[in-house]
Homo-oligomer: A and B are copies of this chain.
Amino acid sequence: MKIHGQQYRSIWLADDGRSVQIIDQTRLPHDFSIMTLRDAQSAARAIREMWVRGAPLIGATAAYGMALGVYNDPSDQAIAGYQELLLMARPTAVNLRWALERVVGRIMPLPKEQRAAAAYAEAAVICDEDVAINSAIGNHGLELIKGIRRNKSGKEPVRILTHCNAGWLATVDWGTALAPIYKAHDAGIHVQVWVDETRPRNQGATLTAWELGAHGVPFDLVVDNAGGHLMQHGAVDLCLVGTDRTTKRGDVCNKIGTYLKALAAQDNHVPFYVALPSPTIDWQIDDGLQEIPIEERGPEEVTHIQGKASDGQLLKVQISPDNTTARNPAFDVTPATLVTGLITERGICEASEDGLVALFPEHTHPAV
Q: Give me the interface of A with B, judged by CB distance under 8 Å.
A: 29-30, 194, 197-200, 202, 205-206, 209-210, 213, 219-230, 232, 255-257, 259-261, 263-264, 267, 289, 294, 299, 302-310, 315-329, 331-333
Contact = CB atoms under 8 A, between A and B. Distances in A.
Contact of A302 (B223, B321, B327): B223
A197 to B, nearest CB: 7
Contacts of A197: 199, 302, 319
A185 to B, nearest CB: 16
Given A222-B327, A229-B332, A259-B228, A307 B302 contact: no
Contacts of A309: 309, 315-318
B317 A308 contact: yes
Nearest to A311: B315
Contact of A327 (B220, B260, B264, B310): B220
Q: How many copies does the complex hold?
A: 2
Nearest to A262: B228
Contacts of A260: 225, 227-228, 260-261, 263-264
19 contacts: A29-B321, A199-B224, A219-B325, A220-B325, A221-B320, A222-B327, A223-B224, A223-B257, A227-B260, A228-B260, A229-B256, A229-B331, A232-B332, A260-B260, A260-B264, A263-B263, A304-B307, A305-B307, A310-B316
A306 B317 contact: yes
Q: Nearest 9 pairs between A and B by C-beta?
A: A307-B317, A225-B257, A29-B321, A229-B332, A199-B223, A221-B326, A263-B263, A260-B260, A225-B256
Judged by DSSP, the binding face of A is: mixed
Nearest to A263: B263
Residue among A194, A230, A257, A324 with most chain B CB within 10 A: A324
B259 A229 contact: yes
Nearest to A259: B228
A257 B224 contact: yes
Contacts of A321: 29-30, 206, 209-210, 213
Contacts of A29: 320-322
A75 B318 CA distance: 48
A224 to B, nearest CB: 5
A229 to B, nearest CB: 4
A303 B263 contact: no
B320 A206 contact: yes
A229 B308 contact: no
A194 B327 CA distance: 9
Given A213-B321, A306-B319, 16 more contacts: A197-B199, A197-B319, A200-B225, A209-B320, A221-B299, A221-B327, A222-B328, A223-B257, A225-B257, A226-B327, A232-B333, A263-B264, A307-B316, A308-B317, A309-B309, A309-B315
